[in-house]
Amino acid sequence: MTTLQFIALSVCCLVCVPAAAATPVPAPAPACIAMRLDPRTNMFRIQPEYRVTAAARQRTAADVFIRFLHSGQTGYWGDVALDWPASASNAVLYAAALWAIYLNSPVQITLEACWTASLGPGVLGHSGAIGASRDFSGAPQTNTWYQIALANALHGSDLDPAKDDFAMAFSSSFSWYYDTNGLPPIGQVDLVSVVLHEVCHGLGFAGSMRISAGVGSWGYGTPYPYIYDRFTENGISNALLNTTLFPNPSVALRNQLISANIFFNGAAANAGNGGPRPKLYCPAVWSDGSSYAHLNDATYDGTSNALMTSSIGFGEAIHIPGPVTLGLLNDEGWVVVPEPAVIQYGLLVAIGIVLRLKG
């Protein structure tokens, strides 16, 4: 795309098989990443602090298109859709506008957004890429899966224009705070924060490491890791993809994934973390859809990097990706605008967000 972000306004986790190397393929099974409610109150808030100029916004804009599902439709992850309350969809659009500030992609990002009563207890939302691609023109690393939104950006055009890039769903069952001012009261969950979080998974904050039947594995049955997996390692800097140490699949890899001692070692992520490798959330008990795909809660709660921890509390509002997450995305291949990003939503509207809907 060339100019403005296209954000629909006002209305309304990652697998593949190597059938064809450059062809994105759908996930064969739900592999989305969930965000859970921390039932405690945490009044920690971070909001964007700086204004952005129209020129800067256009220079750094990613084009985000949101396809809101309606009652009677079924989401990609099997969620039964309800109609979106207008205030809730507005919060989604606001979050997308924030992300568009931080990303620079020549290709439109398209995503499905489902409002549903189908999610499990304590699950606020979940999301994941609908497809992935490898060995496409522009891929920085060979033999590596890239979430399709990232693959598109690196390739320079949409590898699968008929499909959305990722799908996310949010539970209608919580006491949400829909306002975008980042000031949720005690007892409410900030929807903007949760949407920012789920979008980030769809952009690439997820890998393929799993534990199933007591063994750890990666690649979803293919011999290829996700780009995220290429950066993960243990406390003594052994890459989890080192199959001499950790065969795929193996109990040895399983033991690593529940070691509570796994890190993302990427130059930009490390810089965003002030030098050390950022620590990932890998608790002693594997939590499918949560472990490995988040920053470590105990390390980052209450910091500028809290957005991508595994849960959010009542009253908490994190409206910036944070330097670690931006660095991580940059290590994977995204062109990002570093913190401090400059955002004022009222200004974004004033300088012309285009409103679109489809579906």
Provide the binding-site residues for Zn ion, judged by CB under 5 A: 33, 35
Taking the complex as a whole, the smallest distance from the CB of residue 286 to Zn ion amounts, in Å, to 15
Taking the complex as a whole, the smallest distance from the CB of residue 20 to Zn ion amounts, in Å, to 30
Q: Check if the beta carbon of residue 32 is closer than 8 Å to that of residue 77.
A: yes
Q: Would you give the distance in Å from CA 50 to the centre of its chain?
A: 23
Q: Which is nearer to Zn ion, 149 or 353 (CB)?
A: 149
Return d(Cα 74, Cα 44) in angstroms, integer: 35
Taking the complex as a whole, the smallest distance from the CB of residue 221 to Zn ion amounts, in Å, to 23
Taking the complex as a whole, the smallest distance from the CB of residue 294 to Zn ion amounts, in Å, to 5
Q: Which is nearer to Zn ion, 52 or 168 (CB)?
A: 168
Taking the complex as a whole, the smallest distance from the CB of residue 21 to Zn ion amounts, in Å, to 29
Q: Which is nearer to Zn ion, 253 or 293 (CB)?
A: 293
Q: Check if the beta carbon of residue 200 is closer than 8 Å to that of residue 321.
A: yes
First to last CA, the chain: 21
Q: Which is nearer to Zn ion, 35 or 306 (CB)?
A: 35
Q: Which is nearer to Zn ion, 33 or 317 (CB)?
A: 33
Q: Check if the beta carbon of residue 42 is closer than 8 Å to that of residue 313.
A: yes
Q: Which is nearer to Zn ion, 228 or 246 (CB)?
A: 228
Q: Which is nearer to Zn ion, 241 or 293 (CB)?
A: 293
Residue type, 50: Y
State the residue number with the nearest CB to Zn ion. Answer: 35
Residue type, 105: S
Q: Environment class of residue 47 by beta-carbon count within 10 Å: exposed (0-12), middle (13-18) or buried (19+)?
A: middle
Q: Check if the beta carbon of residue 42 is closer than 8 Å to that of residue 306.
A: no
Taking the complex as a whole, the smallest distance from the CB of residue 127 to Zn ion amounts, in Å, to 8
3-state helix, strand and coil shares in percent for the chain, rounded to the nearest 5 = 25, 25, 50
State the DSSP H helix or E strand holding residue 170, giving kind and residue range, or none if neither.
strand 166-171
Residue recorded with tokens 């949409």:
158
State the DSSP H helix or E strand holding residue 329, giving kind and residue range, or none if neither.
helix 323-332
Return d(Cα 337, Cα 78) in angstroms, integer: 34
Taking the complex as a whole, the smallest distance from the CB of residue 169 to Zn ion amounts, in Å, to 13
